[in-house]
Amino acid sequence: MSLAFCGNENNSAAYNVEKGVLNNGCFVDALNVVPHVFLLFITFPILFIGWGSQSSKVHIHHSTWLHFPGHNLRWILTFILLFVLVCEIAEGIVSDGVSESRHLHLYMPAGMAFLAAITSVVYYHNIETSNFPKLLIALLFYWTLAFITKTIKFVKFCDNGVGFSQLRFCLTGLLVILYGMLLAVEINVIRVRRYVFFKTPKEVKPPEDLQDLGVRFLQPFVNLLSKGTYWWMNTFIKTAHKKPIDLKAIGKLPIAMRALTNYLRLNEAFEAQKNKRSPYPQGSKSIWCALCWAFGRPLVLSSTFRILADLLGFAGPLCISGIVHHVGKGNNTIRPQIKILGVFFISSQEFLANAYVLAVLLFFALLLQRTILQASYYVAIETGINLRGAIQTKIYNKIMQLSTSNMSMGEMTAGQICNLVAIDTNQLMWFFFLCPNLWAMPVQIIVGVLLLYYLLGISALIGAVVIIVLAPVQYFVATKLSQAQRSTLEYSNERLKKTNEMLRGIKLLKLYAWEHIFHSSVEETRQKEMTSLKAFALYTSISMQCEMFSLFASFKTVIIVSFVVRSTVKALVSVQKLSEFLSSEEIGEEHDKCSEPRCADNHSKYQVVVSNNVQLYTVWITNGFFTWTPEGSATLSNIDIRIPQGQLTMIVGQVGCGKSSLLLATLGEMQKTSGNVFWNSSIPDSETGEDVRYGGNSCFSRKRGSVAYASQKPWLLNATVEENIIFESSFNKQRYKAVIDACSLQPDIDILPHGDQTQIGERGINLSGGQRQRISVARALYQQTNVVFLDDPFSALDIHLSDHLMQEGILKMLREDKRTIILVTHKLQYLPHADWIITMKDGTIQREGTLKDIQKSESELFEHWKTLMNRQDQELEKETIIERKPVLERKNLRRTRYSREALLKDDEEDEEEITESDDDDNLSSVLHQRAKMPWRACGKYLSSAGILLLPLLVLSQLLKHTVMVAIDYWLAKWTSDVISAKSDVEQKNCSACQEFNHSRYSRVFSILCCLGIILCLVTSIAVEWTGLKVAKKLHYCLLNKIILAPMRFFETTPLGSILNRFSADCNTIDQHIPATLECLSRSTLLCVSALAVISYVTPMFLIALLPLAIICYFIQKYFRVASRDLQQLDDSTQLPLLCHFSETVEGLTTIRAFRYESRFRQKLLEYTDSNNIASLFLTAANRWLEVRMEYIGACVVLIAAVTSITKSLYNQLSSGLVGLGLTYALMVSNYLNWMVRNLADMEIQLGAVKRINGLLKTEAENYEGLLSPSQIPQNWPARGEIQIQNLSVRYDSNLKPVLKHVSAHISPGQKIGICGRTGSGKSSFSLAFFRMVDTFEGRIIIDGIDIAKLPLQTLRSRLSIILQDPILFSGTIRFNLDPEKKCTDSMLWEALEIAQLKHVVKALPGGLDAIVTEGGENFSQGQRQLFCLARAFVRKTSIFIMDEATASIDMATENILQKVVMTAFADRTVVTIAHRVHTILNADLVIVMKRGVILEYDKPEVLLEQEDSVFASFVQADK
């Protein structure tokens, strides 16, 4: 057929101009081409040649500065314009299809307009981003011309009687409106920016975010197309494939998304709620109102998007229905009757009667629907992330004001607060993400039912009834699921608590041979957890059955309902928890309640005293009564003390008399029931520079300066040693060096793998007790504050370190600087240095004054001190022999508890070297590793399931999907047969024809459905069963391996790392991998079956499938790498955030004492923003993938539709099969999405299997012995004789020996004292008895048996040891003393009496069954040490080893203990490793060690007589 612009029929009216040229339709169409040609000619040179030089004077990092007014409106109008133009082209083609010749003017102008519209938006975008507004004048001309020419065409249509019934008329009218609106937008740009027709153009500046080179998250700044398709992520995802993503790569958050911005918004909402409802300002209702007020607007937007997408979603089924209908009729379009201006016009009904038109409309509807749906998801998730950041900041600010009693009295544990941050804020985030479903689902259900009713009639209501019946079942299953999940979580927490305690006390468990007790305890809890998991699996299977029923009832909405209901319930619970937390008591609340008159009275009473002595005292407490809980009895009563300014005050007293409480009361951490605390702040504080005087307010004011505080239990940050000492202050090298020297930290720093830049693990786990304490004290010394509080800083230090710290640190650095020092100590030998002494007893002040005052007035007390100090009252400095410890000694120690960290760092450095090296092979191999799937871990996981389950799993999945396809195929066949039978009836036109028989079809359909339901159940049970079996097996193997691992493993592996295997990794294997595996296999098989069905229906589709498959492969390849990196980044940025929370909770008193709240808040904001930016990038990456997969899916639908329509027209393909193919095509994008997402998830989750597998390779200790139980006497060792022959010991085969050729003989019943400097090998000596270290030479013989031949369990259970660090487990006192349940109550009471604890335990509710909290936190450090002594006494073994066991005990208690040990253990062999040398003066033999060898070995009297004896010098120094 010939082509001509106006057509070339003989009677063509195309060239007829009798009625005027404008009444010729073809001429008007030609006129319409002019503006488009003009635009293309003008803009193409500018677009391709470039701008030459840019006029923008503002240099910004990103080309995303969108600053012209009406920007988004322009993009929306352009998109609508493009769609209308496509319709115009289609209308032209369809209406021209009935003509004898082709009329190009019907669709060619629309084609040109389409090109011009695309060009206009590209041109506009380039002008806007390069800030060259004057060039927009071209667009102004274009819109004007296009508007005029279209208006002429529209007017001519009206003149010639073309009306609304003709589609072309409607399209032309729409185009006039669109061009007019675009012209208005262009004029508005000129009006606002004044770039033309005005003398002075308006200057604009880019937003702060775009000027910041660090902001790389561009979603809020890019244009609408890039926003909708996440085009800006392309470069990011490509870069991720070249090098791993780190925090530097993702940059900073835009200001509007930062935690601080969102917190201020939320706080504003809270304040507004407070003003509204004063009685309950923090209740759940007000929290919900505040959240909606602060974050409601974007949620409304997300919900609007969601409803729009859902409504557009119905276009798919409607279009398919139309296509099937028209294909059934042979796609015969009705020949249009109306011919005006020489061409045919068609109505919209005639237009939509074309199957190809419906296919194209379906394609566009899918594109738009999927884009809007992803936008809805993105907005909801972004809002959720912003909300999470705001709530986390809100919680943190609350923590900073929490009352200390909340923490210490166990009302609120660090774990609960961390749960609030880690779990509850995430629950709220997920609720906000699922929130749009709440409004969208009712709309979806109602429209769906109406549509089905319209299509199917009354039978549609049966489906609706099934849904209504299933809804309560689903709800019931959902509640049961959440109950099962809750109980699983409870058991999981209990198991982790037990595992944590087991790992923290692993050294004790091994030394006491108690591993089996704790192993069985953990296993018992694991069994309960597994039972709960089985219930969870069962309900999951049932819920999947409900989903199957729902699918047969042709609805999927029910599935989402259960998710939303569950999420809503969880969110309600989380808000309730949050409400309780936010309304918990704050510090200083009680002081605000203090009434004015009382304050005034108190003030007048003490006015004179305070003002007279204002320069003399720093703190003055009058008649103070302090308590931890408001309703509890006073912990401190009748406190009247004065702390002299610029002097050293010492607080002394027995264990548990309230010394630490007094410091905390002074800092305002305790609840004050009565009395006053005055702070003399007349000296400006060096930190804040404030000058705070009393003025008229003598009520306790927290307006004190910063106080350098070192708590009794050292609190360290998860940072470097240097950062811990400097503690947020400015670095002063000279001062830093002086502090390091005063605390004798240099030798310790030298043996750390990276010196003072070594990262200290959680709670300083990779440091010894003494090192932790000295770093904590060093922090207090380094600060430039006027007041320094030191709480028992010497408890974990030996005598030399203590002396050095006292002389160089406290006396030289602090007292000479005239700083006020309060020192709590048990070391009474330092009392002569004190300017002021406060003695405490049972929570009251026994006496205060100088040492001379006490000598005069309390001579008895003074004498008691003298005997305790073992010395005459003379100056300490004269006697002290201060020796610098040679650095070599420490280096010899080198127990490489750091070796692992060093190795890790080396690995990291190696990795960096690999990545940075120029060797491309190395780099490519690293990147290749990142792009590979961890198939080995997958194999390990599946092989753990066993030989039977695996085939069942694969077979059931394959069968299930085969049956699902068969069901759909049978339905399609049934439909086709019904349609063909109907058409036969119509053709034959016989009323007597036999009616169609449905019974055969319905029977087969019912059988297939039943089979499908059974296979679904089998599949879900197989998956869950496999998951449970693997989880059980892996946890059991892991626990066995860990508990039997040598001690060396625990010293070189951070506790957090092992705990993570038991918590996060086990949780992944328990709950996530089975679900992901099921999802992955389901989505893959669905995708394969969908493509197979389409290919079966239209084999031509396979040709188009190849390029799509290649595109798909590359998208998933790039996405998986980026997704994994971002997921890991999301997890790794969450860890420091949670650590910061737990650190803050643990060090709250220290942070508040230092007045460092604002600095810590700033750190929190940084951590929160880092976590949020990673989450946002992960969300954007997911949307990037989904949009692309949805577009590929839309292409699959278009190709499938066009090929099946063509095939059905020529090859008589049945309409039922066309419908089947298209229905499957419609779902492909969903399956593709889930397949790639699950593949990425699976890859990350298999990392857990990989890590656990790594730990399973740990070598266990050799528990077997050469001697059988029958060869070992029942009561061995009966006498307690020890022979050590040429013993050499090391911690690992690749380390230097810590004991070298040591020989000694200890007779039965002897009391041996071992002393020496830190690192001389004392503790290693004690560990050698238990085979905890590698004995590579020599042997130890106890009562005639070489201990190397004994089974480990037997050896360790027959000896007793007390360690330096006191370890208590949560449970009862009885369990702590005797977990094996071998002793009677009388034996336990006897042990407690020996340990001076009987009166303490008797006073507790429950006596022996009184509860011990985790880590023994409800007892003081000294009391914990005494419990550990009692535990060893209970064992009644003939050999008893005390490893620096009295470090935390005051001298009086220690003296009593020494006497008791000598009498109670008169017939036992006691080996004491001494911290304080005077404790071993009564020993039968003394061994002095140095660098792993025995230096001196004799009776103490003999050694003391020798002048050059090292032991004698120790004793002299200890006086």
Q: Residue by residue, what is the 3-state secondary structure of 893-956?
A: HCCCCCHHHHHHHHHHHHHHHHHHCCCHHHHHHHHHHHHCCCHHHHHHHHHCCCCCHHHHHHHH
Q: Which of 89-93, 537-541, 1416-1420 has the lowest mean pLDDT?
A: 1416-1420
Which pLDDT belongs to residue 908? 35
Which pLDDT belongs to residue 180? 93
* 450/61: higher pLDDT: 450
Asked whether the predicted pLDDT for residue 1051 surpasses 50, the reply is yes
CA distances from 321 to 196, 317, 318, 448, 492 (A): 54, 6, 5, 14, 51
Asked whether the predicted pLDDT for residue 1414 surpasses 60, the reply is yes
pLDDT digits (tens, 9 = 90+) for 1334-1391: 888 888 888 888 888 888 888 888 888 877 777 788 778 888 888 878 778 888 888 8
Q: Give residues with Cβ within 8 angstroms of 413, minimum separation 6.
A: 407
Least Cα distance to 228 among 72, 437, 67 occurs for 72
Reported as a pLDDT band with limits 50, 70 and 90, residue 46 is confident
Which pLDDT belongs to residue 379? 92
Mean pLDDT of 1149-1178: 89
Residue 1296 corresponds to which tokens in the numbers above?
A: 């230097």
Cα 115 from Cα 44, distance rounded (Å): 12
Cα 261 from Cα 244, distance rounded (Å): 30
- Max mean pLDDT among 374-378, 551-555, 1512-1516 falls in 374-378
Which pLDDT belongs to residue 181? 93
Reported as a pLDDT band with limits 50, 70 and 90, residue 680 is confident
Average pLDDT, the chain: 77
pLDDT digits (tens, 9 = 90+) for 723-735: 888 887 888 888 8
Which pLDDT belongs to residue 393? 92
Q: Which of 252-266, 1096-1110, 1436-1450 has the lowest mean pLDDT?
A: 1436-1450
* 3 state SS of 411: coil
Asked whether the predicted pLDDT for residue 701 surpasses 70, the reply is no
* 3 state SS of 720: strand
* 39/407: higher pLDDT: 39
Show the 3-state SS of 429-469: HHHHHHHHHHHHHHHHHHHHHHHHHHHHCCHHHHHHHHHHH
DSSP bridge pairs for 1485 = 1312
Residue 447 corresponds to which tokens in the numbers above?
A: 């429209």
Whether the Cβ atoms of residue 130 and residue 54 lie closer than 8 Å to each other: yes
Which pLDDT belongs to residue 894? 35
Cα 909 from Cα 915, distance rounded (Å): 10
Asked whether the predicted pLDDT for residue 56 surpasses 50, the reply is no
Which pLDDT belongs to residue 761? 63
Least Cα distance to 405 among 638, 661, 621, 619 occurs for 661
pLDDT digits (tens, 9 = 90+) for 767-811: 767 778 888 889 888 888 888 888 888 877 767 778 888 888 888
* 3 state SS of 196: coil
DSSP bridge pairs for 641 = 621
Asked whether the predicted pLDDT for residue 557 surpasses 70, the reply is no
Which pLDDT belongs to residue 911? 35
Mean pLDDT of 583-606: 45
Asked whether the predicted pLDDT for residue 1025 surpasses 90, the reply is no
Mean pLDDT of 1468-1493: 80
Whether the Cβ atoms of residue 780 and residue 743 lie closer than 8 Å to each other: no
**136-161: buried (b, 16+ CB within 10 Å) or exposed (e) per residue?**
bebbeebbebbbbbbeebbebbeeee
Which pLDDT belongs to residue 605? 32
- Max mean pLDDT among 45-49, 399-403, 549-553, 924-928 falls in 399-403
Q: Give residues with Cβ within 8 angstroms of 1318, minimum separation 6.
A: 770, 798, 801, 885, 889, 890, 893
Reported as a pLDDT band with limits 50, 70 and 90, residue 339 is low
* 1236/410: higher pLDDT: 1236
* 3 state SS of 990: coil
Cα 1387 from Cα 1367, distance rounded (Å): 21
Q: How many residues are given for the chain?
A: 1519
Residue 901 corresponds to which tokens in the numbers above?
A: 């960290």
Asked whether the predicted pLDDT for residue 178 surpasses 80, the reply is yes
Whether the Cβ atoms of residue 1236 and residue 1185 lie closer than 8 Å to each other: yes
Q: Which of 188-192, 275-279, 409-413, 1249-1253 has the lowest mean pLDDT?
A: 409-413
For the purposes of burial, counting CB atoms within 10 Å of the CB of 761, is it exposed (0-12), middle (13-18) or buried (19 or more)? middle
Which pLDDT belongs to residue 901? 36
CA distances from 79 to 364, 992, 1495 (A): 11, 56, 90
Long-range Cβ pairs for the range 292-298 (8 Å, 24+): 293/269, 294/262, 294/265, 294/266, 294/268, 294/269, 294/387, 294/390, 295/265, 295/266, 295/383, 295/386, 295/387, 295/390, 295/432, 298/379, 298/380, 298/382, 298/383
DSSP bridge pairs for 1443 = 1473
Q: What is 600-663 written as a DSSP string?
A: HHHHHHHHHHHHHTTTTEEEEEEEEEEESSTTSPPSEEEEEEEEETTSEEEEE-STTSSHHHHH
pLDDT digits (tens, 9 = 90+) for 1310-1340: 888 888 777 777 778 888 888 888 888 888 8
Which pLDDT belongs to residue 1367? 79
* 3 state SS of 1493: strand
Which pLDDT belongs to residue 371? 92
* 3 state SS of 1364: coil
* pTM, rounded to two decimals: 0.76
Cα 897 from Cα 905, distance rounded (Å): 14
Whether the Cβ atoms of residue 1283 and residue 1469 lie closer than 8 Å to each other: no
Cα 686 from Cα 1093, distance rounded (Å): 79
Q: Which of 97-101, 250-254, 1088-1092 has the lowest mean pLDDT?
A: 97-101
Which pLDDT belongs to residue 927? 46
Least Cα distance to 393 among 1163, 1164, 1156 occurs for 1164
**% of the chain exceeding 70 in pLDDT:** 80
* 284/50: higher pLDDT: 284
- Max mean pLDDT among 68-77, 570-579, 865-874 falls in 68-77
Reported as a pLDDT band with limits 50, 70 and 90, residue 996 is low
1261: left (phi over 0), alpha (psi -120 to 50) or beta: beta
Cα 1186 from Cα 1229, distance rounded (Å): 8
Which pLDDT belongs to residue 415? 67
Mean pLDDT of 592-606: 34
Q: Which of 59-73, 916-930, 1049-1063, 1231-1245 has the lowest mean pLDDT?
A: 916-930
Asked whether the predicted pLDDT for residue 409 surpasses 70, the reply is no
Asked whether the predicted pLDDT for residue 890 surpasses 80, the reply is no
Which pLDDT belongs to residue 15? 59
Least Cα distance to 1477 among 1502, 1444, 1505, 1501 occurs for 1444
CA-CA-CA-CA torsion sign (148, 151, 153, 159): negative
Which helix or strand (DSSP H or E) is residue 16 part of?
none
Least Cα distance to 927 among 240, 396, 404 occurs for 240
* 3 state SS of 676: strand
Cα 505 from Cα 1137, distance rounded (Å): 27
Q: What are phi and psi of 1007, to 5 degrees?
A: -60, -45
DSSP bridge pairs for 652 = 839
Cα 1147 from Cα 850, distance rounded (Å): 33
pLDDT digits (tens, 9 = 90+) for 249-264: 888 888 888 899 999 9
Least Cα distance to 1380 among 522, 524, 520, 525 occurs for 520
Which pLDDT belongs to residue 1010? 84
